Structure 1
Amino acid sequence: MKHGDIRIGIGGWTYEPWRGTFFPEKWPQKRELEYAASKLTAIEVNGTYYSSQKPATFASWAKAVPDGFVFALKASRYCTNRKVLAEAGESIAKFTGQGIVELGDRLGPILWQFMATKKFDADDFGAFLKLLPSSQDGVALRHAVQVRHESFLVPEFVALARAAGVAIVYADSTEYPAIADVSGDLVYVRLEAAVEDESAAYAPAALDRWAAAACDWSAGAAPDGLPYVADPATVIPRETFVFFINGAKVRAPHGAMALIDRVRG
């Protein structure tokens, strides 16, 4: 059976509590990305949500990581935090045109995250999905959307995402409803319910389940025991991204490394 690549990581790489717990003591801060990329296989960049970056910055990130490492970029809040999503075209173009293509083959999916108060409007959301470009300066772009309002728990939303070839983020959250339906050619998972009492963010049995789920997703299967709202997607191998993010952030790197060991094991 063929499988898509499984990439596992954390949100960002600059976090003071990781110094001495994840990064070695006295490790140079300028080389923290380099170290993180040696232990993980992907990073979700949150800084791009708040402000734009220079092309040289993306190029420097690409040079700091090994072959096969991938960055997921959280899209600008100006694209998603708006009353009328269909009017986001200019902001979307600004985001994708800021120089993200300098990441080259290190460029992974773009995460479009919506406020928890944003409700599903089929016409408006469908119009937004049509604004997402398939490429930028000749570089293919892939997209994932994270919605956090219960109104999205309907087959119509899943159908829109599948028609657009856009992934629906599955978030393991204690606060927001989750949608495990697969859409697009990738799977994007955010593990947001980490606890500080667990040295690897989640209990060992939970990590075992997430490892099995990641393998199922990468093979095109739908893991058992997760919330679905539509019929199963076409069974094809899918590149699968799993990020330990939010929750007990100090534990995230160890959770990611523990999951990598299980998937590789």
Structure 2
Amino acid sequence: MAAKGKIRVGIGGWTFKPWRGTFYPKGLRQADELEYAASQLGAIEINGTYYRLQKPESFAKWRDAAPDGFQFTIKASRYCTNRKDLRETGESIEKFCNQGVAELGDKLGPIFWQFMATKKFDAEEFDAFLDMLPGKWEGVKLRHALDVRHESFICPEFVALMRKHNAAIVCADSDKYPQLADQTADFAYARLMRSREEVETGYPDAELDDWAETAQQWQDGKQPDGRSYASPDAPSLKGGRDAYVFFISGAKVRAPAAAQALSARTSS
């Protein structure tokens, strides 16, 4: 096992008109935007999978547009997560995985399962849900992160459950949703949602420095001080963790600049 994990910093999606002429060079063909974005960043969240199924050919096309070492993370279908009882979602999970996600091969990063802010923590329900998440699909390893947004998840029981299943809790930097920075898997996943348009890099230098330090602590297998935790336990992970950090929402026009600024701080 390597001495520590790898930090990948990225953005959500790659099609956004205000990025043309700011992030994307003027005159770049829209068809070439993914290839360009993948050459400048370490990862991209695919969010379209939340709304509808994609074709295997699309996943293969995305894979081929990205360089070696790059990874895509995938937002799971809302038909899996927006349910009254998650114990009834087995068929939907299978359908989601069967759309072609394995086509990404070693360019597949974690799948993140986002829940509505009204969804409350129920230990038995979430234990059953996590049991249904496959660890492999068509020979490709799957890793899972849960993006929970209700305050009932701020409890040691949820953290222990996630550690039992080696699933990551998405660490949010948001004005709307609580932050759970507890590390529960062999990878870390963060979504930073406070970019400001008046700041060229989205986040001020001091905040980027702070998040760079956090990502490097995750990379080393540690759980850094200064974040919000639901459990007093803070086990270290020998060998380190991969860390995925995405700039999402907020002033979206600044997301690529923020990602590049953070990446420059974390590259070794």
TM range (shorter): over 0.9
**Which of the residues 213, 238, 242 maps onto 1:239?**
242
Could you report, residue by residue, the CA deviation over 1:39-98 in whole angstroms, capped at 9, with x for unpaired residues? 101001100100111101000000001000000000000000000011110000000111
Q: Is residue 2:33 matched to residue 1:32?
A: yes
Please name the residue that 1:2 is paired with.
3
Shift, 1:192, TM fit:
0.9
Question: Helix, strand or coil for the counterpart of 2:26?
Answer: coil
Q: What does residue 264 of structure 1 align with?
A: 267
Q: Which structure 2 residue ranges, 5 or more long, are not aligned? A: none
* Partner SS for 1:243: strand
Aligned length: 265
Q: Percent identity?
A: 58
Counterpart of 2:67 in structure 1 is 66
- Secondary structure of 1:235 counterpart: coil
Aligned residue runs from structure 1 range 33-182, under 5 A? 33-182=34-183
2:214 and 2:112 map into 1 onto residues whose CA distance is 21
Question: Distance in 1 between the 2:134 and 2:3 partners?
Answer: 28
Shift of 1:106: 0.4
Shift of 1:126: 1.0
What SS is found at the alignment partner of 1:73? strand
Match of 1:254 among 254, 257, 262: 257
1:138 Cα shift?
Answer: 1.3
**Distance in 2 between residues matched to 1:47 and 1:211, nearest whole Å:** 28
Paired letter, 1:116: A
Moved more, 73-82 or 224-233: 224-233
TM-score calculated relative to the size of structure 2:
0.97
The amino acid of 2:249's aligned partner reads N
- Measured after TM superposition, the shift of residue 125 of structure 1 is 1.0
Q: CA–CA distance in 1 between the matches of 2:236 and 2:134?
A: 23
**Residue 228 of structure 2 aligns to which amino acid in structure 1?**
P
Question: For the Cα contact (< 8 Å) 2:223–2:236, is it kept in 1?
Answer: no
Contact 1:181 1:233 in 2 (8 A): no
Aligned-pair Cα RMSD in Å: 1.0
Q: Tell me how far 1:112 sits from its aligned partner.
A: 0.3
CA distance, structure 1, for counterparts of residue 225 and residue 197 of structure 2: 27
Distance in 2 separating the partners of 1:247 and 1:37: 21
- Residue 186 of structure 2 is matched in structure 1 by 185
Q: In structure 2, how many angstroms separate the alpha carbons of the residues matched to 1:219 and 1:11? A: 25
Question: 1:117 deviation in Å?
Answer: 0.6
CA–CA distance in structure 1, aligned partners of residues 192 and 4 of structure 2: 21
**Structure 1 unaligned spans of 5+:** none
1-structure distance, mates of 2:171, 2:255: 17
Superposed displacement of residue 222, structure 1: 1.1
Structure 1 stretches of at least 4 aligned residues deviating more than 6 Å after TM superposition: none
Output one character per residue of 1:122-162: Cα deviation in whole Å (capped at 9) or x when no partner. 11111111110011111110000000000000000001101
CA shift at 1:242, angstroms? 0.3
